[in-house]
Amino acid sequence: MQHTPNHIFFFFLIIALLTCNGCSSVPSDDLSLEQHLVQEETDSIALDEQSDEACSYFYFLWGTHAENNSRYEEAEEAYEKALICDPDSRSIIRKLPILLMRMNRYEDAAKWLNATIAKYPNDSEDRTLLARLHVRNDEIDKAVKLYKELIAIDPDDETVLLRLGFLYSEQKLYANAEKIFHQALALNNESLFAHLYLARLAVQNKKKEQAEQWYEKAIALNWSVDLALELAQFYTMQNNLAKVEDLYRSILEKHPNDRRGGLGLVHTLLLRDKEQEAFDVLMKLRKDSGDTIQIDIILARLHLRSNRLDKAASILTPLAEQGDVPEATYMLSVIYYEQKKFSASLSLLSEIIEGSSHYEESIYLQIRILMEQHKQSEAIEIIQKIIANEAIATPGFYTLLASLYIEQDKIQDGYDILETALVKYPDNAQIYFEYALLLEQDDQQNEAIIRMEKILEIDPDHAEALNYLGYTWADNNINLDKALQYIQKSMSLKPDNGYIQDSLGWVYFRMGKLDLAIKEIVSALKLAPDDPHIHEHLGEIYLKMGKKIKGREAFTKAKQLFKTPEDKLRLQEKIDALK
């Protein structure tokens, strides 16, 4: 920052001494802020009735210089003295609340602005500033009231209309917001923000076609990278990948080095199975980029997608050797794991330190490798040490330790660690879920149901808990209406989950709705073709429909897929009963 030379201050001082007749009556420095807030109080101060503009200007310049150099208290004092010289100076009256906000004295700023509004009721700038202050303080109702007053003063203020509409949408008063945005649009049919806000409002209200129309009008009015990115995100949600690709390409045509557009295009091309095009775009981005790490990571992922492990490893190895790219280190350790190079993988995983990205994933992979090497005790010791360190312990580590105990048939140790976890994380749905699964495995289904119901108290949209309860009731042929409701909600949360769709088919089977049951089970098998339980359910439905040959075929497939001798024997008994 530059400092004003001393001779300029001397110049201001001389001007003030020659012209500032009223300055001799300036009160002491301890004059409180509130003395400038109300006209009646300032009238009582013994001042020359004539404002002294030269005196005011001197202190105004002094305050501005102090403010520009972050000497806020000095600036406040100077502005106050300027107001004493000229109590009606609008420029200074507006300066003070802005200064107070810069000093984080928001309550004092609000007092200033309320007093100014009372004095100048038809001036819009003070209301606008106070409204924005209320928004900043999350006092939305107060801000809405002020914007309404501003519209009453000037019904044709487009900016105020847009701000009011935005606040209505924040309050979820969508009908009010839409009305206001249309009002703004009536004033200016080419208002970018009116079109944009209406598009966002339509998205919020799940009116996809309207949203698309408003978005397309907005981008036709004023194309920008940010708007193109937002529209691409909208079309991604609609699974209209052709439009998404066009938008990202339009970004790159106008801004060839835009990484967001380039990486977005790569992702979209991969979703459209245009792998070579994605690779070409990445290579161009890498050539033009000063920072290649992120692009190299994506290139490695692209090679992994096509199972080119060696090529991915050749990209990741130099990144991992840098020691400061934990994502590369973790990915390379995964490659070594897939290649059965367990020692090399464990060595890399040990380099991912606490607090870095992928630390928790690195621990999970370490445990998986140790379990495959039958080093259960070593795996348990690692998790026990982590849990002892509160700085890095997470609910996931507790549930992992519980699962390790269960693997060793130490059921009580599993219960104990989950109870400890619930003391520390009493509202963690995942811990309750693991607890319920343990109870189910331990043939305590009623207790498992209690835990699952607790999960829904914490998280009503927990898809797995909804599915468990719905399926369990259906399997026990009880609460079928409620089971159907739970499973349908679970399906809406995870529509492409074959196991949940199997549950839906099973509850229809229990309700005697066999046509619906067979439809859902067949769809479930498309999503999870190797699940023996779904094939077994299919066989049961065919039997109920009198289609014994198809039922036997389904049971035979289930028997082939089951792993344990007990399950295979059970299915063989069903097959034999149909001969």
Q: Which residues, including other chains, have CB under 8 Å from residue 273's CB and lie 6 or more apart?
A: none
Nearest Cα neighbor of 417 from 433, 405, 428, 408 is: 405
Q: Which residues of 266-300 are buried (b: 16+ CB within 10 A; e: fewer)?
A: bbbbbeeebeebbbebbeebbeebeeeeebbbbbb
Q: How far apart are CA 123 and CA 130, in angstroms?
A: 12
Q: What are phi and psi of 529, to 5 degrees?
A: -70, -15
DSSP designation for 33: G
Domains of the chain: 1-120 (1.25.40.10)
pTM over 0.85: no
Provide the greatest CA pair distance for the chain: 119
Contacts 24+ apart (CB under 8 A), 14-23: 15/54, 15/58, 16/54, 16/55, 16/58, 19/52, 19/54, 19/55, 20/52, 20/54, 20/55, 20/58, 20/85, 21/48, 21/52, 22/47, 22/48, 22/50, 22/52, 22/55, 22/85, 23/52, 23/55, 23/85
182: Cα within 13 Å, side-chain hemisphere: 8
456, 466 Cβ separation under 8 angstroms: yes
471, 505 Cβ separation under 8 angstroms: no
Other CB atoms within 10 A of residue 127 CB: 24
Q: How far apart are CA 473 and CA 484, in angstroms?
A: 9
pLDDT tens per residue across all 579 residues of the chain: 444 444 334 333 333 333 344 333 333 333 232 333 333 333 333 334 345 778 888 888 998 998 899 999 999 999 999 889 988 888 888 889 999 999 999 999 999 999 999 998 888 899 999 999 999 999 999 999 999 999 999 999 999 999 999 999 999 999 999 999 999 999 999 999 999 999 999 999 989 999 999 999 999 999 999 999 999 999 999 999 999 999 999 999 999 989 999 999 999 999 999 999 999 999 998 888 777 898 999 999 999 988 999 999 999 999 999 988 999 999 999 999 999 999 999 999 999 998 888 999 999 999 999 999 999 999 999 999 999 998 899 999 999 999 999 888 899 999 999 999 999 999 999 999 999 999 998 899 999 999 999 999 999 999 999 999 999 999 999 999 999 999 999 999 999 899 999 999 999 999 999 999 999 999 999 999 999 999 999 999 999 999 999 999 999 999 999 999 999 999 999 999 987
Q: How far apart are CA 495 and CA 533, in angstroms?
A: 19
DSSP designation for 522: H
Other CB atoms within 10 A of residue 464 CB: 20
DSSP H helices in 408-462: 411-424, 429-441, 445-458
281: Cα within 13 Å, side-chain hemisphere: 27
